Amino acid sequence: MDRHSSVDLSDPDLYATGDPEQVWARLRAQAPVHRTERAAGAFWSVLSHEVISQVLRDARTFSSRHGMRLDHNPAASAAAADKMLIVTDPPRHGRIRGIINSAFTPRMVRRLEENMRVTAAAALDGALAAGSCDFTEVAARLPVATICDMLGVPREDWDFMLSRTMVAFGADGGTDGMAVAEAHVEILSYYEELLELRRDDPQDDIVTALAHAEVDGVPLTDEEIFLNCDGLISGGNETTRHATVGGLLALLDNPGQWQVLRDDPGLIPSAVQEILRYTSPAMHVLRTATTDTVLGGHSIAAGDQIALWLPSGNRDEAVFAEPERFDVRRSPNRHLTFATGTHFCLGASLATTELTVLFDELTRRVDAVQPDGPVRRMRSNLIWGFESAPVTLTAR
């Protein structure tokens, strides 16, 4: 047995109350590829930027269709394989991805950016008026509004979708499972109704694109459309929300960097890339070996599961100088927050724009940020995020 198997990176308590950065650093140095044996099933961990990138770029050897996260439900993953983008391999993956990309017409992109600006300004103005706030709630508003806009949800229903999304996708392990399931059902029921509307009344949105699309001459089924809507809601909500919170806290912890950004708003694009690297909200992605292979000097058997720990790759000393330092001027910044290869995040450009808009509005409107209580991390091995981040914002 691998001597490092006792370090179980799948333990959610490590991320809620532990110090994962130190664990990642030690394992990168001692065992960047290693196997963990556990009752829930053995898996390989990959922690170096180089080998993570190697796996992500080789969809033939390392498949996504057998599940994208540790401890997934095998039956659910099998049912979604080749239907839901994140658990579909090439060439079908590229065809479904192309359908979704086709929805991003110039008119839709302009509308999304205009609405992002309005939503971000309103969220920050509300927080400033309140003085003290939980910034996790402020940060949730922009990604949910953007996803709703992108999928075709009318503005009057955005608050409903925000409330349901927070329960369905923003919960920690202690939240009532029945409430999570009910929120999912409500979301999918809503999209069932929206799908019928868009079949009769096409608009510039993704539900319309999915409703009228074909893959290899065959229309997508309702199930395929719902699964991909669900994936877009989940992925689009989590990355941007937790990167926003983590970015604000990084600026709070590094007041010199906050002042640099305030003095030179032209640094916001590089600051956003550093926020994405530093916060790394997507904790791991899973791949399954399709054939016997060798990875980092270790023999991997066909069927073995490989967890790629993206935040560790984003702190790899071989790629990033002083990786634990938050630097809004960092360049180059070859972070893996959006992965790479075939499954490079579909919403990377959208998430980057959201963060750019929000931090631009933040530097325009906010003079100072002060902590207003303890920050609580999520208990999760999938999302490196925040349950609570109380702060006080002071207007400029």
Q: What is the pTM of this model?
A: 0.94
What pLDDT does 175 receive? 56
Domain boundary assignment for the chain: 13-395
Q: Yes or no: say if 187 and 164 are a contact pair by the CB < 8 Å rule.
A: yes
Task: Give the pair of three-digit tokens for residue 171.
Answer: 């919960």
Architecture of domain 13-395: Orthogonal Bundle (1.10)
- Average pLDDT for consecutive 10-residue bins of the chain (396 residues)? 68 92 96 95 97 97 95 90 92 94 89 94 96 94 92 91 79 65 89 94 94 93 92 84 96 95 95 98 96 97 98 98 98 97 92 96 95 95 94 95
Mean pLDDT (the chain) is: 92
99 backbone dihedrals φ, ψ, rounded to 5°:
-60, -50
Between CA 119 and CA 134 the distance in angstroms is 17
What pLDDT does 65 receive? 94
Between CA 146 and CA 150 the distance in angstroms is 6
Quick one: which of 162, 164, 193, 191 has its CA closest to 180?
164
What pLDDT does 163 receive? 85
Buried-state track 171-191, b at ≥16 Cβ within 10 A, e below 16: beeeeeeeeeeebbebbeebb
- Strand-pairing partners, residue 392, are 132, 370
Between CA 347 and CA 331 the distance in angstroms is 22
Query: Residue 292 CB: number of other CB atoms within 10 A?
Result: 12
Between CA 140 and CA 245 the distance in angstroms is 9
CB neighbour list of residue 136: distance below 8 Å, 6 or more residues apart: 241, 245, 386, 387, 388, 389
Task: Give the pair of three-digit tokens for residue 223.
Answer: 């199930």
Quick one: which of 124, 121, 189 has its CA closest to 160?
189
CB neighbour list of residue 9: distance below 8 Å, 6 or more residues apart: 23, 27, 36, 45, 284, 307, 309, 381
Task: Give the pair of three-digit tokens for residue 296.
Answer: 């980092």
Between CA 197 and CA 194 the distance in angstroms is 5
Q: How far from 219 is each of 105, 132, 237, 332, CA to CA, in Å?
A: 21, 50, 27, 42
